[in-house]
Amino acid sequence: MAIDDPRLRELEEKNALLETRVKHLTNDLHLTREENEASLVRYLDIHTNLEKKVAERTAELARTNQTLQNEILERRRAETRLQQSQKMKAIGTLAGGIAHDFNNILAAIMGYTEMSLMDTDEASSVHRRLTNVLKATNRAKELIHQILTFSRQNDPEIRPMAPLPIIKETIKMMRASLPATVEIRQRIPASSAMIMADPDHIHQILMNLCTNASQAMAKNGGTLELRMTEVDFDTETAHRDQDLLPGKYLKLTVADTGRGMDRAELEQIFDPYFTTKQTVDGDGSGLGLSVVHGIIHSHGGTIAVNSELGTGTTVDVFFPIIEPAKTDPAAVKTPIPLGRERILFVDDEQALADVGLQMLQRLGYHVVPRTSSVEALEAFRAHPDRFDLVVTDQTMPNMTGTELAREIHRIRPDIPIILCTGFSEKFPGELGPGIGIDDFLFKPIALRDFADTIRRVLDQPHISMTS
């Protein structure tokens, strides 16, 4: 029997309403959850894309920064190279001025010494002393030539030579510049084999290697050792070890007990601009060994470097040995050639004009000296057929030797001209053809060279120069 209770019905209705509300709320919760999950997925996608873009932008910035750092480093290297180039240009200008003045002094000493030697008995003590003066003058001449070679680019003069004198000269120069903490040892034989090389290049190689060795020992000191030996490579050894042609080689070794190098540095030592020194402070340009490597290979040789960090470095340089030219025992020294021609001699230094006059008169020539290029031109213009040859200095005030040569050829195109110089930024091949210079003499001039050159120029046929 059903109980009709109003309160019970009211409760049932409320319960039904609650259940309906619960269902709606549950559906709303499901919808909200789905929406939240969708929003979370969208957020994660946005976050992922944002992180990807940030990573890409970071990588792009890193690449840009690296490129910028490389450009800054390259700019610094370029600035260092420019400074070095400007420094070398300044040194070249200074060296040229020094060479000109010093060679003028040497020219007077050499000229008077040679003429005095001709007037003294070869058995006398005076003759021996004058011979030593001449030797010292020639050594000073070679030193000036080395300074000029260091400060400018010269065309290589490949010829048969014995490197022993250059090695000894290098050792003397290094002793004067090394600190007291660095000891020089040498194992050099009394004589050496002949090689085909440019003497200036050999000097450049040795100075570079010795300088590198001394810098490696600058902090703690050590020992710099130079050695010279002869080695013989058969076909297999030459190809396997040094990639050389089989034969005999002169081996020059420069060893030091400095910091040494690790394997990574050894693999880069011949790369241009690579250096173990701090280029920012100007201690090294990284060009030395690269240039040395090129010079050695252009001479048909090779270079080998062995080094360990903390034990030092050994550099071996190999040059092919050549057979010395056979001399004819019956050959006799030819006498100095003489002449009777008329010469206009021009030099703005009174001392050189005097010594030139006496040397030429000693050779038999009739000489008209002038210490001014303008006066020399006036003398030639007044009597153009009076002269058979013009010998002129290059560096003179008002009018240089080449300018004088042009003016003289406008007056008489067939007159031969010899140009004397102690230093020129241009080389003889660049000066001669266009201005009618027949030959060149570099101060200080030896009497034999003076005589031979004059006779050679006078005896050759001459082509008229047109203005």
Asked whether residue 449 carries a pLDDT value surpassing 70, the answer given is: yes
Q: What is the mean pLDDT of the chain?
A: 82
Q: What pLDDT is attached to residue 432?
A: 46
Write the pLDDT tens digit of every residue in 254-265. Answer: 999 988 888 888
Helix axes 447-459, 6-118, angle to 10 degrees: 90
DSSP string, 412-443: -TT--EEEEES--SS-HHHHHHHHT--EEEES
Which segments of 119-221 does DSSP mark as H helices, in order? 125-151, 164-177, 199-216
**More confident call, 248 vs 284:** 248
Please give the helix or strand (H or E) that residue 405 lies within, else none.
helix 401-411
Write the pLDDT tens digit of every residue in 67-79. Answer: 999 899 888 878 8
HSE value, Cβ hemisphere, 13 Å, CA-based, for 52: 6
Write the pLDDT tens digit of every residue in 90-138. Answer: 766 777 677 777 888 888 899 999 999 989 998 999 999 999 898 888 8
Give me the mean pLDDT over the 298-323 stretch.
88
Answer whether the bond into residue 329 is a cis peptide, omega within 30°. no
Q: Judge whether 285 and 275 are in contact, CB under 8 Å.
A: yes
Positive or negative, the Cα torsion across 202, 203, 208, 214?
Answer: positive
Residue type at position 273: Y
Residue 369 tokens, joined:
């000296």
**Which residues face 139 on adjacent strands?**
none
DSSP reduced 3-state for 2 = coil
Asked whether residue 343 carries a pLDDT value surpassing 90, the answer given is: yes
Residue type at position 335: P
Of the ranges 69-73, 274-278, 287-291, 299-303, which is most confident?
A: 69-73
Domains of the chain: 160-322 (3.30.565.10), 342-459 (3.40.50.2300)
Whole-number Å distance between alpha carbons of 375 and 370: 7
Write the pLDDT tens digit of every residue in 374-417. Answer: 999 999 999 999 999 999 998 889 999 999 999 999 999 999 99
**pLDDT band at residue 149, thresholds of 50, 70 and 90?**
low
Of the ranges 47-56, 324-333, 359-368, which is most confident?
A: 359-368
HSE value, Cβ hemisphere, 13 Å, CA-based, for 190: 0
Q: What pLDDT is attached to residue 371?
A: 94
Q: Judge whether 370 and 349 are in contact, CB under 8 Å.
A: no
Q: What pLDDT is attached to residue 64?
A: 92
HSE value, Cβ hemisphere, 13 Å, CA-based, for 168: 10
Residue % of the chain over a pLDDT of 70: 83
φ, ψ of residue 397 in degrees (nearest 5): -70, 155
Asked whether residue 347 carries a pLDDT value surpassing 80, the answer given is: yes
Q: What pLDDT is attached to residue 20?
A: 87
Asked whether residue 277 carries a pLDDT value surpassing 70, the answer given is: no
The reported pTM is 0.57
Q: Judge whether 431 and 402 are in contact, CB under 8 Å.
A: yes
Give burial (CB, 10 Å; 0-12/13-18/19+) of 88.
Answer: middle
> 382, 378, 376: which is closest to 343 by C-alpha?
376
Alpha carbon distances (Å) from 287 to 284, 298, 303: 8, 17, 16
